[in-house]
Structures are given as structure tokens and as C-alpha cells.
Amino acid sequence: MSNTPQNVTDYPNDNTYFLVWNFKEDILAEKIKAGFQRICALVININNSALDRFPDSKASCVMGIGHEAWLKLDLPKPLPKELKAFEPIVGDKHIAVATKGDLHFHIRSDQKSFAYDMSSMISDFMKDIADCAVEVQGFRYWDSRSILGFVDGTENPHGKDRDYFSVINEQDLKYQGGSYLFVQKYIHNLDAWKSLSVEEQEKVIGRSKDQDIEMDDDVKPKNSHIALSNVGDDLKVVRDNMPFGNVATNEMGTYFICYASTFSTVEKMLTNMFIGDPPGNYDRILDFSTAKTGTLFFVPSLDMLADFSG
């Protein structure tokens, strides 16, 4: 049996929509299950249509399923080994909050119109059975920089390593081709960030701002973002972070999104950042970036998604 992954290894695109939906509490379970079957079929249809109609647009839609939704929908058991309800990671100063999410849609296209149309189609199908909890429109900022001005994702794996670190292989035969998806919506305190000199900002990140060169280990602060978020060459994830926000209200942020073959890798990274390594040595970037959401999903293979569609 083939276990073809969804488009989790695609590179970040120019136009991205992130949508989190929660099933309505007052809707009959059978109606939710029927709606879920339709949405699985729609996601497959959208991706096939994108390949036929806009082959050069790098368009795709990836759907993830939360722990509570997996149980509510009576999906296969035992569950994927590391799929669970994400619990807050509480440090002395900062918290990786946990928020509810039943379905997550990651929509990408170089053509903004097509990204919008895909999001609109998803929403038209979902609105009768669920409420949208998060809608974020991400955009590419210069050479893949965050709004903080630093390149985001330099440590991302490339080539075959993207499949290795983002897609489940031999360790979970039933769910081969699937991925663990974790997301957080961060809001930046840009006034505080801009008050720092470039040299101070570089110490927070652990890289040079203009040239994106990592500091030497004997110079890089132990509480820099690079020092704490990178947990080893054999423990990586595929990040597809995108900036978003409203300039007039100065509410700008980063939507952190990663695909991983094991969620334990993500947990280790978050623990380092929010609790610290050693405890108390938390990630300095958190003094300027606040996590407003935090949810774990499982992304089934395309074959399993087809099974779910009935």
C-alpha cells in the first residue's frame, strides 16, 4: 500500500493562509462526520486541480487533524503514537500556551488569487459544521525574513532530509507518510525590538542581521534563539514560518509552523525555549515575541485522507 505524504515538504510560498477550525458543539456527530468526509475529498480535489490548472503556481493545501477531533470523528485506533492534546509549557517568565484546534489548513500559492480561492472554498465547506478560530494571511518578506528583520528558517533541512525529518517512516507503520504538525501564532513587540541596537538584536538571535551568518559558539549568547531552538543535527523539523500582521495597529507577528516525523523533537525545542537549558536560561526572543496559540495536529498521508473521504 502506498503512503504518499501530503505536501508537507513544499517550501514556504509568497502567499499563505493558515486556518484553524473547531467543530460546533451543538451539531450532531453524524453531520460532523459527513462534513469531515466532504472536506477530505475537497482537499484532495483542490490539490489535483492546482496541478492541472496552475502547475507553476506551487499551490497546495495541507490538512491536519487535532487529537480531540480524531476521537470525535472515530478515526483509526490506536492513534498516531505522539498525537495528543498539547499541554502548556510553563517557564519562570514565559508560557507556550495551549489552544484548541480540530482541523488546520495550510494553503499556499504563488498566485494570491488562487490562495484566496482555496481558502474561500475550504471556508464555504466548513462554516456549517465548525467555527474558524484562527485565520492568518502570511506573506513573504524580502529574502524569507521575519518582521524582526532576520532570515527565518536558515537551519531548515533540504533535499531528501526534508522527507526524513518531516514524514513518518518505519517507526509507525500504520501511519507511514503522515506528519506531526505544530503551530503557534506569535505577536511581536516591535517598539521594544526596535529600541535595541543591531548588535543587541544579533545577540538575541545568534546571527548577523544583514548576512545571516551564525555566531561562533564562543561568542553566541547561551540564551540566544539559535542556541536554544536548535536541538541537534539529528533532531530537526521542517519549518514553514510566515510573517503577518497589520501595519496601522502595529500588530505584527510570525506564524510558526513545523512538520516533524516525531513530535518529541518539537517538545524538546519548546522546552529549551520556554523553560531554558539549563532551567531559567530561556530564549531571549520571548521577551519580544509572545505565543498566543499552540496546537498539535496530525497530517495523514494522501492515501489515508482518501480513506477518510469515504
**Active site residue ranges:** 152
Indicate the DSSP class of residue 226: H
Contacts of 150 (CB under 8 A, 6+ apart): 201, 205, 207, 209, 212
DSSP-assigned beta bridge partners for residue 180: 260, 298
Non-local CB neighbours of 49 within 8 Å, separated by 6+ positions? none
Instruction: Write the DSSP assignment of 13-26 as a string of letters.
Output: -SEEEEEEEEE-TT
- What is d(CA 72, CA 129) in angstroms, rounded to the nearest whole number? 13
Place of cell 520571548: 286
Q: Could you tell me whether strands 103-109 and 60-66 are parallel, antiparallel, or unpaired per DSSP bridges?
A: antiparallel
Q: What is the DSSP letter of 9?
A: T
Closest CA to 295 of 268, 258, 262: 258
Q: Residues with Cβ < 8 Å from 299, sequence gap 6 or more?
A: 5, 6, 8, 62, 63, 64, 65, 178, 179, 180, 181, 259
CB of 18 closer than 8 Å to CB of 138: yes
**Cell numbers given for 132:** 474558524
